Amino acid sequence: MAVIERTYNVPLRREFLRAPRYKRAKTAVNALRKFLQRHMKSEEVFIGRRLNEKLWERGIKNPPHHVQVGVVKEEDGKVFAELLGFKYEKPVVEEEGKKKKKEAKEELAEGKKKIEEEFKKLEEKTERIKEEKEKKGEDKEKKLDNLSKHEGKKPSPRGNVPTDQHEKKRKEKPANA
C-alpha cells in the first residue's frame, strides 16, 4: 500500500449548527474526524496542531464554516490531517521528560524517608521529655507529701520549714536597738 495524499474542503456548518452554541467547536472537531474517517477509510485519524488552532481560534461558539485540509494516509493506515499548506508535525516524545519524572519520583521517595527518620527522632525526644517530666512529677509529689506532714501549714520561702517555726525563731531573737 502506498502513501496517499489528498486535499479536502471539509464542510462543518451543517454539523455544528445541530449542536448547542457552547459545544460547537467540539462538534466541529468531531465532524472533521468523522469526515476524514469516511473519505480516507481509516479509523485512526490524527488532527494537526495548526488545524486544531484554526478550529478553535474564534472560540467554542463560532468555529469556521469549512476548512481546507491536507491529508496524508500512511502505509500502516494512520491518517494525519493538517491545515492546507502546512506539514503535519508528529508530537516529539521527550525521553528527558521521562527521566526528569523518574528523578522527581526518586527525590520524593528520598524526601519521604528523611521526613520519616526525623519524625522518629522527634518521637524519641518527646518520649524522653515525658519520662523526665514524670520523674519531676514524682519529686513534686514527694515534696507535697512532706508538706502534708506539716498539716496544712504554709511552706516558708526559705525551704520546707513551716512558717510557724520561723515566727518562733524571730520571737526568740532579741531585737537590737
Q: Which distant-in-sequence residues (6+ apart) come within 8 Å of 162 by Cβ?
A: 150, 153, 154, 155, 156
pLDDT at residue 88, rounded to an integer: 87
% of the chain exceeding 70 in pLDDT: 74
Is the overall model pTM greater than 0.85, yes or no?
no
pLDDT single digits (tens) 42-80: 999 999 999 999 999 999 999 999 999 999 999 999 999
pLDDT for res 91: 77
Q: Which residue has the cell 449548527?
A: 17
Predicted pLDDT at 149: 61
Reported as a single tens digit per residue, the pLDDT across 77-101 is 999 999 999 888 887 766 666 667 7
Question: Domain spans of the chain?
Answer: 4-83, 121-150
Q: What is the pLDDT of residue 156?
A: 57
Q: Residue 7 CB: number of other CB atoms within 10 A?
A: 10
CATH topology for 4-83 is: Ribosomal Protein L31e; Chain: W; (3.10.440)
Instruction: Indicate the SS3 state at residue 142.
Output: helix
Instruction: Give the model's confidence band at 139: pLDDT under 50 very low, under 70 low, under 90 confident, else very high.
Output: confident
Strand partners, 155: 162
